[in-house]
């Protein structure tokens, strides 16, 4: 049993077969080394550009459970910035921001189908029958269309991805509109699922990309909380709006 | 009361005054947008290069409490990758990886001193008297010298930083060797404290840079744990090596 | 919108309609007030005894992912005991200790069936066909039988529960042995699911009972870690046993 | 190297030298076994009554950062109740609920002083000079007096504690009022520090008692959130009250 991620001796540190000091620091970006550690090889220019686009996209979305939690936890443990960020990241779950997995699983399954149109129709039909939401589709605020996917598809095309997963997602989008009888936007996590599949990011770790991305947004929220506190005001608002009442 | 970090309406998302879709995705790297969200403006080339070097440096260090925790927590909640990463990040604390703060506080205090040599001597003397470790100095494994600081100083100089904080840290290093009567290496967190001060990263959020950086390493550890599990073996080793015994 | 859990004014604090100072402190145990806050009324003697038995049962199990994580996280952030406990509790998940939910869902569904034997056979058959483990059955170490369930059933009977859920679980156990053609023990989480249903604990919060219970065990592990540190030794063992190797 | 907390073989589980199934389940309460695991021996009736009073006191306080975080995190990861509780417990920190440590450290230091009145005066003076808040004194809402300490002192006296730490805390309270020239209430964490010292709970783990206690309150908040959701409403309020604005 061994690990390939990283190791060190007294005078050197290695990351996936590369010397950290000689080959990586100052020569490769955060995004490139993140790809290296996760995928086991340095990315090419296409992969770097696509991964950067993905990491930028989910970095923040203003007030969300993640930022609310991070600020409240920071305010309770101000000496330990990691508490605020970690507590917030726990909310990158099945409901918000962590939902790439579902769409990526669909796309990974659909990519090898002989008749993709039939497969898309079946997938939409199955979700409608089970009254399950289509992962990667719909958005509570961004209506009729999430502005991020078209930009992400353009960046990926310009960066030179093969484009099969993006095409499949768009095909699925047409099947969704037809099957539901109304337009449902491809959302950011759907588009990110397609892009990350294009660059070979393992499906099982995709939510990790959201987590890494959002950690940067939460650090920024905490930096702002340090300058302009909001946590006590949030607490006060809730106490006023949702008062205690004896049961019964 | 308002926030400058991020906001959205039905058709657009803004990050610190920039349109996410039009101005950031595909045009700026993760590192640049992280700087934007945290510092309120896009970085110049010097700042980007230095921040990338910092983020790469702390991304991982093989087996550490962070990676051990992340893998054990992942194994217990495999459907929720964010649990493994968040649990691991909680260990970016006062002991490992989160220790930039202390050195940065010293450097921020020392930079304005009229007689920096005298200040360095006093700081070393005070730490010796109180038997407190000098933040940013010493390393349990990397002896006599941590290989990362010289590379970081070189990258920063080539990137064009002014260099005052790096010079002060090196000056402090000479005072440490003289005061303790033996060589103590400047360690990675010490060097990172100096570099982040050079690019104007707020002192209070510096530990957040470690957290963001390490989140990428932990995602990689979890990706490897998915392919080559270690958690059960770790558990078994501990059970064998540290058995239960009735007290008394 | 309001909350019934707790509220306060300048001179008093109320918990679910009871004055904390006048009616609860010194008059009711932790277990009774936990039941009050969660279920909205003070428990009777039967309910208290059963909930105490449940809370004691899962409090600890020696070396587990929860205790390993708690000790490693404590060692990295020793000034913040809550970090160690919280990090450990994150591992009360779908794999260990948090698995009451599945068995409770089965029992809640089966309790109203006209022909419980037929339902038990069908449930076992369905799990075998789907190759899904039967929640509440089997244990990696406690073979052939987990010692806790018989004791829990005895305590519940003596405390005066109605016993329908316990009887259903035992019936299901006979169907499991018949269906799999070999004996699979009812495990502790299965027995706890039955007992918590007997006392009316809402199914959706059952994992919370495990979390509360385990928090006490993790506090004890951290107290021992403070007296007799193990974290560095665990780290060292892993570094030796699972070394870094360049990939390829 | 070994552990005394808990261990098991195929047919039994031991907690600090006691057989879990034969000696603890159904025979001892949660509170008693928590004391056993943490302190290494079963408590007597005095200790149990005092620990129960402590655990009940801090179990909840309505809307606090802990309950806000727990509900928001639960809403984002509803399949994993442990996420909500753990995220909330991270806020049992240096600011709220986790502040017993400071007062306990003072009391542990003062108890052996020859002239306790002089020591009290000096402690108050030192805190005033350094403009540091007196740990265990003052409360933002409960003015002029926190209603919990008098009740806790009464319960402890009736339970039969020796009373030296309680007396010292009250003596310190008189010195606080004299030194500050106005009345500052002994708060709940101050009283709990004194009571936990009375029963021999190790100082270093006291914050753990708060964490265990609060875990029960957070489970109750999540149970209520499942019945009557508030998280989306809280999020909406914050978005309206603290809007995004472009910087500059």
- Per DSSP, helices labelled H in chain B are 30-39, 45-57, 65-76, 81-89, 100-110, 116-129, 148-159, 164-180, 188-198, 206-227, 231-241
Q: Which ipTM score applies to this complex?
A: 0.96
Res D19: pLDDT: 98
Closest residue, chain B, to C61 (C-alpha): B244
Among D233, D213, D137, which Cα is nearest to D179's? D137
| Average per-residue pLDDT for chain C | 95
Q: Give yes or no for a contact between D80 and A93, defined as CB atoms under 8 angstroms apart.
A: yes
- pLDDT band, residue B216 (cuts 50/70/90): very high
- Rounded-to-integer distance, Cα B49 and Cα B39, Å: 15
Q: How far is B154 from chain D (nearest CA, A)?
A: 34
- Count CB atoms within 10 A of the CB of residue A20: 23
- Rounded-to-integer distance, Cα D177 and Cα A134, Å: 64
Q: How far is B114 from chain C (nearest CA, A)?
A: 35
- pLDDT band, residue C96 (cuts 50/70/90): confident
Q: Residue B121, class by beta-carbon neighbours within 10 Å (0-12 exposed, 13-18 middle, 19+ buried)?
A: middle
Q: How far is C236 from chain A (nearest CA, A)?
A: 13
- The residue behind tokens 């968040």 is B86
First CA to last CA distance, chain C: 59
Q: Give yes or no for a contact between C80 and A77, defined as CB atoms under 8 angstroms apart.
A: yes
Q: Which residue in the set D6, D8, D246 is minimally distant from B17, CB to CB?
A: D246
What's the pTM? 0.96
Res D140: pLDDT: 85
Digit-coded pLDDT (tens) for A107-121: 999 999 999 999 999
pLDDT at residue D8 tops 80 = yes
What is the three-class DSSP state of D139?
Answer: coil
* Contact criterion met (CB < 8 Å) for A3 and C242: yes
Ramachandran class of B16: left when φ > 0, alpha when ψ lies in -120 to 50, beta otherwise: left
Q: Residue C230, class by beta-carbon neighbours within 10 Å (0-12 exposed, 13-18 middle, 19+ buried)?
A: buried
- Rounded-to-integer distance, Cα C6 and Cα C8, Å: 7
Digit-coded pLDDT (tens) for A127-150: 999 999 999 999 988 889 999 999
Closest residue, chain D, to A73 (C-alpha): D91
CA separation, residue C45 to residues A67, C18, C54, C200, D33 (Å) = 44, 18, 14, 14, 19
pLDDT at residue A236 tops 80 = yes
Backbone torsions φ then ψ of D15, nearest 5 degrees:
-120, 110
Q: Which residue in the set C5, C56, C63 is minimally distant from D220, CB to CB?
A: C5
Among C210, B86, C156, which Cα is nearest to D216's? C210
* Contact criterion met (CB < 8 Å) for D246 and B77: no
Res B99: pLDDT: 76
* Contact criterion met (CB < 8 Å) for D3 and C62: yes
- pLDDT band, residue B8 (cuts 50/70/90): very high
Beta carbons within 8 Å of A213's beta carbon, 6+ residues apart: A54, A55, A56, A57, A58, A59, B30
Please, which residues bridge with residue A137 across strands? A186
Classify each residue of C67-82 as buried b or exposed e, where b means 16 or more C-beta atoms within 10 Å of its C-beta: bbbbbbbbbbbbebbb
Q: Give yes or no for a contact between D197 and D148, defined as CB atoms under 8 angstroms apart.
A: no
What is the edge-to-edge ordering of all strands in the sheet holding C18-19?
A: C6-8, C13-15, C18-19
Digit-coded pLDDT (tens) for D55-64: 999 999 999 9
Q: Which residue in the set D68, D72, D234 is minimally distant from A91, CB to CB?
A: D72
Q: How far is C102 from chain A (nearest CA, A)?
A: 18
* Contact criterion met (CB < 8 Å) for B15 and A228: no
- Rounded-to-integer distance, Cα C94 and Cα C101, Å: 9
Please, which residues bridge with residue D137 across strands? D186
Among C72, A193, C231, C3, which Cα is nearest to B66's? C72
Give the H/E segment covering residue A75: helix A65-76
Q: How many Å separate Cα D138 from the centre of its chain?
A: 16
- Count CB atoms within 10 A of the CB of residue B132: 10
* Contact criterion met (CB < 8 Å) for A222 and B208: yes
Q: Residue D9, class by beta-carbon neighbours within 10 Å (0-12 exposed, 13-18 middle, 19+ buried)?
A: exposed
Q: Give yes or no for a contact between C77 and A86, defined as CB atoms under 8 angstroms apart.
A: no
Res D204: pLDDT: 87
- The residue behind tokens 């991270």 is D90
Among D57, D13, D1, which Cα is nearest to C147's? D13
Digit-coded pLDDT (tens) for D145-198: 999 999 999 999 999 999 999 999 999 999 999 999 999 999 999 999 999 999
Backbone torsions φ then ψ of C19, nearest 5 degrees:
-75, 120
Q: Give yes or no for a contact between A56 and A208, defined as CB atoms under 8 angstroms apart.
A: no
What is the edge-to-edge ordering of all strands in the sheet holding B18-19?
A: B6-9, B12-15, B18-19
- pLDDT band, residue D35 (cuts 50/70/90): very high
CA separation, residue C164 to residues C100, C145, C156, C160 (Å) = 17, 22, 11, 12
CA separation, residue B34 to residues A212, B59, B154, D104 (Å) = 11, 15, 23, 41
Residues of chain B above pLDDT 90, percent: 92
Q: Residue C48, class by beta-carbon neighbours within 10 Å (0-12 exposed, 13-18 middle, 19+ buried)?
A: buried
DSSP line for D48-88: HHHHHHHHHHTS--SSSHHHHHHHHHHHHSTT-HHHHHHHH
Q: Output D87 or A143, whichever has higher pLDDT.
A: D87
Digit-coded pLDDT (tens) for D217-240: 999 999 999 999 999 999 999 999
Q: Give yes or no for a contact between C169 and C153, defined as CB atoms under 8 angstroms apart.
A: no
Q: How far is D80 from chain A (nearest CA, A)?
A: 9
Res C99: pLDDT: 76
What is the three-class DSSP state of C7?
Answer: strand
| Longest Cα–Cα distance in chain B | 69
Q: Residue B190, class by beta-carbon neighbours within 10 Å (0-12 exposed, 13-18 middle, 19+ buried)?
A: buried
Residue among C223, C226, C228 with most chain D CBs within 10 A, to mutate: C223
Res B141: pLDDT: 85
What is the three-class DSSP state of A7?
Answer: strand
Backbone torsions φ then ψ of D48, nearest 5 degrees:
-65, -45
Closest residue, chain C, to D36 (C-alpha): C220
- Count CB atoms within 10 A of the CB of residue B227: 11
| Average per-residue pLDDT for chain B | 95
* Contact criterion met (CB < 8 Å) for C242 and B63: yes
pLDDT at residue A97 tops 90 = no
- Rounded-to-integer distance, Cα D204 and Cα C79, Å: 9
pLDDT at residue A54 tops 90 = yes
pLDDT at residue C181 tops 90 = yes
- Rounded-to-integer distance, Cα D4 and Cα D14, Å: 9
CA separation, residue C211 to residues C16, C187, C197, C228, D6 (Å) = 21, 18, 17, 25, 17
Q: Output C119 or B96, whichever has higher pLDDT.
A: C119
* Contact criterion met (CB < 8 Å) for C6 and A77: no
Q: How many Å separate Cα C108 from the centre of its chain?
A: 17
Q: Give yes or no for a contact between C45 and D228, defined as CB atoms under 8 angstroms apart.
A: no
User: At how many degrees (to 10) do helices C45-57 and C148-159 cross?
Assistant: 170
DSSP line for C19-68: EIIIIITTTS-HHHHHHHHHHSS---HHHHHHHHHHHHHTS--SSSHHHH
DSSP count for chain D of H helices, then E strands = 11, 3
- Rounded-to-integer distance, Cα A224 and Cα C93, Å: 33
Res A33: pLDDT: 98
Q: Give yes or no for a contact between B213 and B184, defined as CB atoms under 8 angstroms apart.
A: no
Which chains sit next to C, with 3 or more Cβ pairs under 8 A? A, B, D
pLDDT at residue D99 tops 80 = no
* Contact criterion met (CB < 8 Å) for C90 and B83: yes
Q: Which residue in the set D22, D215, D233 is minimally distant from C215, CB to CB?
A: D215
Closest residue, chain D, to B248 (C-alpha): D17
pLDDT at residue B248 tops 90 = no
Q: Give yes or no for a contact between D228 and D199, defined as CB atoms under 8 angstroms apart.
A: no
- pLDDT band, residue A168 (cuts 50/70/90): very high
Dihedral Cα A232, A233, A236, A240, nearest 10 deg: -170
Please, which residues bridge with residue C244 across strands? A3
């Amino acid at each position: 049993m061994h690990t390939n991620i990283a190791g060190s001796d007294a005078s050197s540190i290695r990351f996936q077969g590369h010397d950290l000091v000689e080959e990586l620091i100052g020569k490769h970006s955060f995004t490139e080394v993140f790809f290296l550690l996760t995928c086991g090889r340095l990315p090419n220019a296409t992969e770097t550009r696509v991964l950067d686009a993905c990491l930028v996209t989910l970095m923040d979305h203003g007030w969300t459970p993640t930022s609310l939690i991070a600020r409240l936890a920071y305010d309770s443990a101000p000496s330990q910035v990691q508490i605020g960020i970690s507590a917030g990241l726990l909310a990158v779950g099945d409901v918000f921001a962590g939902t790439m997995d579902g769409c990526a699983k669909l796309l990974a399954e659909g990519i090898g189908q002989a008749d993709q149109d039939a497969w898309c129709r079946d997938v939409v039909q199955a979700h409608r029958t089970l009254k399950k939401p289509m992962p990667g589709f719909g958005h509570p605020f961004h209506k009729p269309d999430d502005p991020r996917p078209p930009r992400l598809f353009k960046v990926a095309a310009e960066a030179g991805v093969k484009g099969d997963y993006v095409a499949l997602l768009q095909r699925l989008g047409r099947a969704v509109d037809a099957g539901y009888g109304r337009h449902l936007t491809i959302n950011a996590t759907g588009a990110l699922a397609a892009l990350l599949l294009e660059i070979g990011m393992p499906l099982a770790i995709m939510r990790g990309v959201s987590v890494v991305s959002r950690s940067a947004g939460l650090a920024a929220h905490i930096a702002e909380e340090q300058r302009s506190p909001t946590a006590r005001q949030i607490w006060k608002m809730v106490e006023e709006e949702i008062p205690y009442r004896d049961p019964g």
